Amino acid sequence: MNARPPLSEAPVLAQHAALRAQFPILKQPINGQPLVYLDNAATTQMPLAVLDAVRQFETHDRANIHRGVHTLSQRATDAFEQARTTLKRFVGAGSDHELVFTSGTTDALNLVAQGLSQGQDGRAAVIGPGDEIIVSGLEHHANLVPWQQAAWRSGATLRILLPDAQGRLHEDALARLLTPRCRIFALTACSNASGERPPYETLLAQARQAGALTVLDAAQAVGHSAMQLDTLACDFMAFSAHKMYGPMGMGALVGRRAALERLTPLRFGGDMVQSVSFERAVFAQLPARLEGGTPNVGGAVGMAAAAAFIESIGHHALESHLADLREHAAWGLRRIEGVTVLSAQTSASAIVSFVAQGAHPHDIGTLLDARGIAVRSGHHCAQPLLDHLGTGPTTRASLAVYNTHEEVEQLLTGVTQAIEVLR
């Protein structure tokens, strides 16, 4: 077997111990062993910079936003709107884009799927009977089930862009599915289950060319990849704070203003209206019209701090560090007899998902946990994909900025020994 490929000297590695020290949760034993946290695709941990920003807001600036004339309300409003500005810049949004805060990616994708399939005030829904919705076969259930419901609600047909046997998506397969009736194309920027990074730039452009609105689930990309929304043929992009070193229960839907305006609001109440009489209401402009109720202001502050944390490391350094770790893990796992790594050759991914003959992912996961190693086992909310690939449930190790090559070695040793126990 070949020697492990040489590792690049990413600048992030130079101060890695100091960087790691910014994540207090990592400094604890689990089952008597140092914690090796490799479940970052489920949630990343928060650095002190994010924890401090949230604490600063909650202890100094907390008040309800908008319409208050007192000082704290103004500070909280400023913090919330500053977070919006920071995050728009973070994902490369342009002047014709807007960002709506949500509780996460699932919430954002539901807002799009429901908002396009429900009418409003006598106005027909964007998706109607006989229309078509195309969803890729790589999707998390959060970017599939809302479209199943949208199709059912509107009388549209749902079509799936199936990946090939290696789990890759292809332009010619999309070309065969696109018709003049296609209203929506929904795609992930990186599969949470296989780690596959599809050529989403070209696929989105192809779908827009055919007249479809395009939806990108960027939950597994924003934590390391520099998104350039203004250069993408993307109408709606969803992402979560807790997969980019930010708080849980916070996320965003960012998109072309003209596309966001086509969404029927789903949450009616305070802050999303311009004027109200006892009989009817006139809705506010974007982004307020899609943000009914008191938002998670502290979450928005934390999410913006997380974006600043990522930018302080630099996307390039982050991506090269994660690519090295993934290559190391995929290389080592493939050397273990009977182990198959999904999407082994994909690039710009921080997820390595694998199956081992004769060793079930739940057993591997439990045996790794006994060594302090946290991975995820199962279907990863992408059951149709794993059924299609014929792998069944997998074990998934997912990487973040604080992970090290030593930790990858511990994973490889742990998997080898788990398989020895189980076979």
Partner 1 sequence: MSIDLDLYQDIVLEHKRAPRNFGALPGATHQAEGTNPQCGDQISVALKIEQDRITEVRFQGQGCAICMASTSMMTEAIRGAQTSAARQLQARFRGVLTGTEEADEAYLGKLISLAGVARYPNRIKCALLGWHALGHALQSPLASNAASQGATS
Q: What is d(CA 158, CA 127) in angstroms, rounded to the nearest whole number? A: 11
Nearer to partner 1, 88 or 376 (CB): 376
If one asks whether residue 361 binds partner 1 (CB under 8 A), the answer comes out as: yes
Q: Which of 379, 404, 409, 416 binds partner 1 (CB under 8 A)?
A: 379
Q: What is d(CA 65, CA 227) in angstroms, rounded to the nearest whole number? A: 29
Nearer to partner 1, 184 or 386 (CB): 386
Taking a C-beta distance cutoff of 8 angstroms, is the pair 239, 219 a contact?
yes
Q: What is d(CA 254, CA 100) in angstroms, rounded to the nearest whole number? A: 6
Q: Which of 211, 249, 293, 392 binds partner 1 (CB under 8 A)?
A: 392
Nearer to partner 1, 175 or 421 (CB): 421
Q: Which of 14, 48, 258, 422 binds partner 1 (CB under 8 A)?
A: 422
Active site residue 381: yes
Catalytic residue among 182, 190, 234, 381: 381
If one asks whether residue 276 binds partner 1 (CB under 8 A), the answer comes out as: no
Q: From residue 80, how far is each of 51, 53, 54, 346 by CA, in Å?
A: 16, 12, 12, 37
Give me 227's structure tokens.
């998104």
Q: Which residue has the tokens 């020697």?
A: 3
Taking a C-beta distance cutoff of 8 angstroms, is the pair 96, 240 a contact?
no
Q: Which of 312, 357, 366, 413 binds partner 1 (CB under 8 A)?
A: 366
If one asks whether residue 345 binds partner 1 (CB under 8 A), the answer comes out as: no
How many residues sit in the footprint of partner 1 (CB under 8 A)? 18
Q: What is d(CA 341, CA 343) in angstroms, rounded to the nearest whole number? A: 6
If one asks whether residue 362 binds partner 1 (CB under 8 A), the answer comes out as: yes
If one asks whether residue 11 binds partner 1 (CB under 8 A), the answer comes out as: no
Q: Which of 136, 154, 225, 377 binds partner 1 (CB under 8 A)?
A: 377
CB neighbourhood size of 391 (10 A): 18
Q: Which of 25, 48, 266, 421 binds partner 1 (CB under 8 A)?
A: 421
If one asks whether residue 416 binds partner 1 (CB under 8 A), the answer comes out as: no
Phi, psi of 259 (to 5 degrees): -75, -45
If one asks whether residue 60 binds partner 1 (CB under 8 A), the answer comes out as: no
Q: What is d(CA 335, CA 409) in angstroms, rounded to the nearest whole number? A: 13
If one asks whether residue 383 binds partner 1 (CB under 8 A), the answer comes out as: yes
CB neighbourhood size of 205 (10 A): 16
Q: What is d(CA 160, CA 331) in angstroms, rounded to the nearest whole number? A: 31
SS3 at position 92: coil
Q: Which of 363, 374, 405, 409 binds partner 1 (CB under 8 A)?
A: 363
If one asks whether residue 370 binds partner 1 (CB under 8 A), the answer comes out as: yes
Active site members: 381
By CB under 8 A, name the binding residues for partner 1: 360-363, 366-367, 370, 377-379, 383, 386-387, 392-393, 421-423
